[in-house]
Structure 1
Amino acid sequence: MTKTKILVVDDEPSISMLLEFNLKLAGYEVQCVFDGEAVFSAIQSFRPDLIVLDLMLPSMNGIEVCRKLRSRNNLVPIIMLTAMQDLSDKIAGLDNGADDYMTKPFSPQELISRIQAILRRLKTLPASAEEAPIEIGKIRVLPTQREVQIDGNAIELTPKEFELLLFLCRNRGKVLSRQQLLHGVWDYHFLGDTRIVDVHISHLRDKIEGNGRAPEYITTIRNVGYKLTEPAKKQSFA
C-alpha cells in the first residue's frame, strides 16, 4: 500500500528531525528540505500529498513559497508553521493559500491530527456515492467532480475553499457558528482559531460574489457566524 507523502520544510534541523521521526512513526513517508527554493524541486521528485511549511526560511520565505505554488495552480495542502504570535503573519499565510497554520512550539501529535483532518476531508466521494449538483442562484457546485461554476463558468477554488462552500451549500439557510464551520470543514474537535474561518470566507466571497461587492450569498450573522442563502429575485416594475 502506498504511503501518504509529507514534505517538511524547516531550516531548524532539530525541528525537522522531530517532525520526521513522529510523522514516520504515524505511518507517513517523509522528506525534509531546509530552504524555500528547495521546495519546488522536491515537489517534482517527491510529489507530496501535503506540505508542512515554516514561515521563516532562507532564500525564500514560506509566504513567498505558498504564493508561488498557488500562482502555478498547485493546490497541495499546506500547513504553515510560525514562531511569531503576530496575527498578521498568520493571516498573511492564509491570504496566500495556506490551508492551516500552527504556532511554535507545538505538539507533534497536534500537527499529526491537523494533517489527518485535512487529508481525510480531501478524499473524494466514490463513484457509487455520486452526489447530485447543487444549484443556488448563479452558483453550481459539482461535489463529486469538486468543481464550481458561476453563471456556467468554472472558477478556481483551493481545496479548503471548495470544502467550505460545499458545507455552506449543504446547510443553506442555516446560521452556522465559526466553531461549527471549524468542525465541519476543518474537522477540528477542539476550540480552534476561528480567524481561519473568517479569512477563507473572505476569499470565497471575492471569488463567487465579486471582489469588493456587498455579499449576496454568504451573509455575516453578527457575533455568531455565517449563513448561505439564495439572493432574493429583484422585482420588475415594468
Structure 2
Amino acid sequence: MNLLLVEDDLRVSELVKRGLEEHGYQVTLAYDGLMGKKLMVANRYDLIITDIVLPQLNGIELCREIRQLWPELPIIMLTALGTTEDKLDGFDAGTNDYLVKPFDFRELHARIKVLLSHNAGALQAPIIKSLKYADLEMNLQTNVVSRMGEEINLTPKEFKLLEYMLRNKERILTRTEIAEKVWDTHFDTGTNFIDVYMNYLRKKIDKNFENKLIHTKTGMGFIFKES
C-alpha cells in the first residue's frame, strides 16, 4: 500500500513514516500542502494522512482538492486541533477519520487498516496518458519523449529516471531518493552512478535546448524545473 503523509513537523513525520514502513507500507512525505497536492495529482496513493495547519495550502483545502478527483480515497486528518468545530470542519471537507495529537501509533495503524479494508478495490485513479512540463512531453503509452516536437531516444532506465523527475517536478530529489525509487536500491555514497545517469539524461534533454530543465543543487541533489 502506498501512503502519502503531509506533515510539516519533521519529528512527527519521520516517526510516523518509520512506524508505517515497519508495517510494510510505502510512505511518501510532503512538508507543505501545495507539495502534497502536486504529489497527489502526479501519483496514485491508497490513503492520505494530513495535518490541518500546513504551509502553502492547509489540510482542509487539500482535503477538498482530493475529494474533487478521488471521492473514495481514504483520508485521515492527524492534527493538534481537537475541538468539535475543528473536527466538523474536517469531516465537512471530506476526511474519513480524525486523530488528535498526541496520539498512540497503534491507534493510527488500526484506523488505517480499517479504512483500507473498506476501500480495497474501490479506488479508481485517473489514467495518466502523458506527462508534460515546459516544452517537454512524455507519452506513457508509447514511451515516446519529445521536446519542441523533436523526438528524444532514451534507454529504459533513462526513461524511468525522467518519468520520476517529471512526476516530482520543481522538488529537490536527493540521490538516496532517486536510488530507492528508480533503481530500487540503497544509495552507496562511494559510487556516482546517479550522477552518471543524470549526465546521460542532460545530454539528451538539455544539451540542444536553451531552456535547461535538469539542475544540480550542490550538497542536496537534483531538481527538474525551468531555468
Q: In structure 2, the residue corresponding to 1:48 is in which secondary structure?
A: coil
Please tell me the root mean square deviation across aligned C-alpha atoms, in Å.
1.8
Distance 2:91 2:54 in 1: 17
Structure 2 counterpart of 1:114, from 111, 116, 128? 111
Partner of 1:90: 87
Give the CA deviation at 1:7.
0.5
- The correspondence for 1:105, drawn from 71, 94, 102, is 102
In structure 2, relative to structure 1, the CA distance for the partners of 1:22 and 1:36 (3 Å cut) is same
Equivalent of residue 81 in structure 1, options 69, 78, 81 = 78
Task: Give the letter for the 2:24 counterpart.
Answer: G
Which residue of 2 is the match for residue 136 of structure 1?
none
Which residue matches 1:9? Answer: 6
> Do 1:36 and 1:61's aligned partners in 2 also have CA atoms closer than 8 Å?
yes
> Do the aligned residues in 1 keep the contact of 2:3 with 2:49 (CA within 8 Å)?
yes
1:39 corresponds to: 36
| C-alpha displacement of 1:88 | 0.4
Question: Identity rate of aligned residues, in percent?
Answer: 39
How far 1:85 sits from its partner (Å)?
Answer: 2.4
Would you say how many aligned residue pairs link Structure 1 and Structure 2? 123
Corresponding residue SS for 2:110: helix
User: CA separation in 1, counterparts of 2:28 and 2:68?
Assistant: 23
Deviations 1:56-108 (A, max 9, x none): 10111100111122133443110011202211011101011000000000011
Q: Distance in 2 between matches of 1:124 and 1:27?
A: 19
Q: Is the 8 A contact 2:50 2:78 kept in 1?
A: yes
SS at match of 1:37: helix
Whether the aligned pair in 2 keeps the contact of 1:82 and 1:90 (CA below 8 Å) is no
CA–CA distance in 1 between the matches of 2:114 and 2:98? 13
2:58 aligned partner: 61
The answer for the alignment partner of 1:186 in structure 2 is: none
Structure 2 stretches of 5 or more lacking a match?
123-227
Cα distance, 1:124 vs. partner?
Answer: 4.8
SS of equivalent to 1:81? strand
SS in 1 for 2:94: coil
Q: Kindly indicate whether the alpha-carbon contact (under 8 Å) linking 2:51 and 2:59 is maintained by their aligned counterparts in 1.
A: yes
1:212-238 alpha-carbon deviations (Å, 9 max, x no partner): xxxxxxxxxxxxxxxxxxxxxxxxxxx
- Tell me which amino acid in the other structure corresponds to 1:25: E
Whole-Å separation in 1 of the counterparts to 2:119 and 2:81: 28
1:70 aligned onto 2:75? no
| Preserved CA contact (<8 Å) 2:6 2:33 | yes
Q: TM-score, normalised by structure 2?
A: 0.51
Deviations 1:16-74 (A, max 9, x none): 00000000001000100011111122123431100001011011110011112213344
Moved more, 45-54 or 69-78: 69-78
Partner residue in 1 for 2:19: 22
**TM-score for the superposition, normalised by structure 1:** 0.49
Name segments (4+ residues, structure 1) moved above 2 Å.
71-75
